[in-house]
Amino acid sequence: MPTPVVFPSGRQFLVLGKETVAQGTAATPTATLVVEEFKPHDAPVWLDDKGWRGSMGELYGRQEGVIKTDFTMKGACFVDTLPWLLSNILGDNAYTGGTNTGSPTTTTGALTAGVTTVVPVTSATGIAIGTVLAIDTSTALELVTVASVSGLNVTISAPVAKGHLTGVAVQPVTGPFINAFSLLNSGSAQPSTLTLIHYLGPTATVAARAYTGACLSELNLKWNAETMLFEFDAKGSCWPSAPAAALPTPNPTAITPVASWRALLGIGGPASGGTLLKYCQDGEINIKRQLDVVFTAQGSQNPYVIVRGTLGIAGKLNFVAVPDESQFLNMLNNSQPQLQLVIDNGQASTAHGLFQFDSQLAAYKDFVPETGKAAVGYTGGFDCIDNTTNAGISAGFSPGKVTVLNNVAPQTY
């Protein structure tokens, strides 16, 4: 008797790529997203023929209508891969940081935000493919990655995000680098989309299915100092699945996830000094985005576009062994204190990784006493109020900002 063909679920993996052409046009995978679960659901609309035919039957035919895919995923947060999801749901990313190295130079022409990909410089000494450059200084500073060099013209991997005058400083830098994600408010206000490729086994030849045009509708960040890594779960929608263009190869990160006990929470200020609060045991930050999957009469079952709408951030906190009523009173008095969560991996140099969430105005909406343990605590939720402090390069308002420190080249996400 022949051995039956099986596909071990333990061998599955998920890779992704940033779409740079039209939404829904498959991108080549560039990273492996390490997850514990990925559940896609291809969901066609079924069009049933139930017309009367002088018979006692009910269903006389069925055709397939439009189709999309909904998906969920979850896993630990890694500093080098979570930014793919943050960029997808928030959209605005400011690259800064780095340590100076090599010879500084200056620009010989003005740079236009969202347009310029060739940076003219007075000297290209020491600038090669893959070099990270810090352009300008102070609030105008941004980091870019070199794609090629021709004479005194340096081509970068994506257009500059900010405008720069002629003669501004250009300085090679090394990592780690800072990624600050806020709500995108410029242009069409639509973040980039992702191609997700799920290696599962049964798909002929390539053993994997591709999910293009992926847009997140929820990204939830969770921690529990006693029992968890810093983790996420997410859900979203995309184009219907199709066999991948080629057999994917896993290349998982060598970076380790971070234990939740490393978290520091600040209420009414930063997570340090007098506003560091030490008695929060666990919590969640829930980023939710309106999605509208639009179908039109275009001769295709696929979506015409998936539109990202408004975005809100909420969360909940569990305070244990409280010393006073201060957090309860923040709710009663509608104080809307600043909230900052910092989770640092405790490593050094290019291995240093950090997550930081900031909301300038966290409006507590409900708090109830918890008396089931030895010491009295409180648990409650908050909504983040849109504000200009947490806004990014695209200006406007944002309910919060998520900052990630890692050693991934700028302009990757």
Please report, for the domain that includes residue 166, its CATH number. Answer: 2.40.10
The torsion angles phi and psi of 275, rounded to 5 degrees, stand at -105, 5
Residues 189 and 170 in one domain: no
Tell me what pLDDT residue 389 has: 98
> Hey, what amino acid is at 255?
I
Query: Angle CA(162)–CA(163)–CA(169) in degrees, nearest 5?
Result: 95
In a domain, 142, yes or no: yes
Per the structure, how many domains does the chain have?
A: 2
Give pLDDT tens digits along the chain (413 positions).
678 899 999 999 999 999 999 999 999 999 999 999 999 999 999 999 999 999 999 999 999 999 999 999 999 999 999 999 999 999 999 999 999 999 999 999 999 999 999 999 999 999 999 999 999 999 999 999 999 999 999 999 999 999 999 999 999 999 999 999 999 999 999 999 999 999 999 999 999 999 999 999 999 999 999 999 999 999 999 999 999 999 999 999 999 999 999 999 999 999 999 999 999 999 999 999 999 999 999 999 999 999 999 999 999 999 999 999 999 999 999 999 999 999 999 999 999 999 999 999 999 999 999 999 999 999 999 999 999 999 999 999 999 999 999 999 999 99
Residues 334 and 305 in one domain: yes
For residue 211, what are the CA distances in angstroms to 76, 289, 291? 22, 19, 16
Q: Pick from 180, 211, 245: which residue ends a domain?
A: 180
With beta carbons less than 8 A apart as the criterion, state whether 294 and 307 touch: yes
Residues 222 and 169 in one domain: no
Tell me what pLDDT residue 2 has: 76
In a domain, 2, yes or no: no
Q: How many CA atoms lie within 13 A of 51 on its CB side?
A: 5
Tell me what pLDDT residue 42 has: 97
Question: Which range marks the domain in which residue 349 is found?
Answer: 9-46+62-90+184-406
> Hey, what amino acid is at 256?
T
Residues 260 and 158 in one domain: no
d(CA 180, CA 285): 16
Residues 344 and 324 in one domain: yes
Residues 130 and 70 in one domain: no
In a domain, 328, yes or no: yes
H or E stretch including 309?
A: strand 305-319
d(CA 104, CA 6): 58
With beta carbons less than 8 A apart as the criterion, state whether 255 and 353 touch: yes
d(CA 95, CA 141): 8
Q: How many CA atoms lie within 13 A of 200 on its CB side?
A: 17
Q: Pick from 143, 158, 180: which residue ends a domain?
A: 180
Q: Left if phi > 0, otherwise alpha if psi is -120 to 50, otherwise beta: which for 399? A: alpha
Residues 275 and 330 in one domain: yes
In a domain, 281, yes or no: yes
Residues 272 and 389 in one domain: yes
Residues 195 and 218 in one domain: yes
Tell me what pLDDT residue 142 has: 97
Which are the contacts of 353, defined by CB distance < 8 A and separation ≥ 6? 79, 80, 176, 255, 258, 344, 345, 347, 404, 405, 406
Q: Pick from 123, 146, 180: which residue ends a domain?
A: 180
Residues 235 and 342 in one domain: yes
Q: How many CA atoms lie within 13 A of 62 on its CB side?
A: 6
Report the candidate in 227, 244, 190, 228 with the shortest Cα–Cα distance to residue 13: 244
Residues 201 and 115 in one domain: no
Residues 244 and 358 in one domain: yes
In a domain, 55, yes or no: no
In a domain, 212, yes or no: yes
> For the whole prediction, is pTM greater than 0.85?
yes
Tell me what pLDDT residue 3 has: 82
In a domain, 52, yes or no: no
Distance of CA 180 to the CA centre of its chain: 11
Tell me what pLDDT residue 4 has: 87
In a domain, 106, yes or no: yes
